[in-house]
Every structure is written in C-alpha cells, then in structure tokens.
Structure 1
C-alpha cells in the first residue's frame, strides 16, 4: 500500500480522508500512484495533472522523504520508504503571488 496525503482543497473535492492508502500494481512510480488515485477518485482527473498530456499542473508539487519529486520523470521509482508504506507521498498545492 502506498500512503498519499492530499492538500485540503483536493481532499474536500474528493471527499477523502487526510491520508489515503492506495494499492498500486507493480513497482510503484509517481505515474502509477496518480493513476490509482484518479481511478479511485475520478473527480481528481485533471486537477493534479493535465488530462491530455499527463504533465503535472504548474501549482502542484510532489514530496517524499524530504525530497522534491516534482520534476522527476513520472515513471521513475518512488523512494523505498514510500514504496514500503513507511512514509507518505505528499501532494502539495503550491502558492504563488505577492
């Protein structure tokens, strides 16, 4: 099981708990986690990544094990503590402006 923490606005949209557990088949990757998340919560399709291209939305960031994974290739393996379920993958809504 992969643990995922959503930001409050996506949690409210999906009517989901603060921390989710997702079953991701095969070796867990960021793309695999997002596929499982969107499968379980279809209302999130297009909110985290573009529906057509699959690229991360500009104001969404991914963190795990105190590392920014936002610019990693979507098919790269998640850190071992996340893959083992000991640490969560954090999906963060970034802020901008002045």
Structure 2
C-alpha cells in the first residue's frame, strides 16, 4: 500500500481529509501513483499533470524519501520505502509571490 500526501487545495477539491492510501499493481512510479489517484478521484485529472502533455503542472512538486523528484523521469521506480508505504509520496503545491 502506497501512502500519498496531497496539498490542501487538492484535498479540498477531492473532499479528502487524510493522506491517500493506494494499491499499485506493478512498479511503483510517479506515473503509476498519479494514474491511481486520477482513477479514484476523477475531479483531480489535469490538476497534477497536464491532460494534453501528461507532464507535471507548474507549481506542483514531487518528493520521495527526502528527494525532489519533480524533474526526474516519472517512469523510474520509486524507493522501496515509498513502495512499501513506510514513507509517503509527497505531492506539494509550490507557492510563488513577492
């Protein structure tokens, strides 16, 4: 079981109060996690990655095992601590301003 922590604005949109727990068949990758989230919460389609390009949306970041994976290939298997659910996969909404 994979645990995923979503940013507050996406949790509100999907009416989620806690971290999401997902069962992923096959390799646990950023793409497989997002596929599972979008399947369970269709209202989140297009909010994490672009519907047209399937690339990460601006101001969304991915973290696993204290590493920023935002610019890594989304098809690379994630660390075992993420795949086993010992640590959550973090989807973070970045903030910009001045």
**Shared fold (TM-score, shorter chain, > 0.5):** yes
Instruction: Give the TM-score of the pair, scaled to structure 1.
Output: 0.97
The gaps in structure 1 that reach 5 residues or longer are none
Shift of 1:82: 0.1
Correspondences of 1:57-72 after superposition (within 5 Å): 57-72=57-72
Query: May I ask how many residue pairs the two structures share in their alignment?
Result: 98
Shift of 1:18: 2.3
Alignment deviations for residues 53-77 of structure 1 (CA, whole Å, 9 cap, x no partner) = 1000010001111100111101001
- RMSD (Å), alpha carbons: 0.7
Q: Quote the residue 1:25 is aligned against.
A: 25
Task: Establish whether residue 89 from structure 1 lines up as the match of residue 83 from structure 2.
Answer: no
| Stretches of 4+ aligned residues off by more than 3 angstroms | none
Instruction: Give the TM-score of the pair, scaled to structure 2.
Output: 0.97
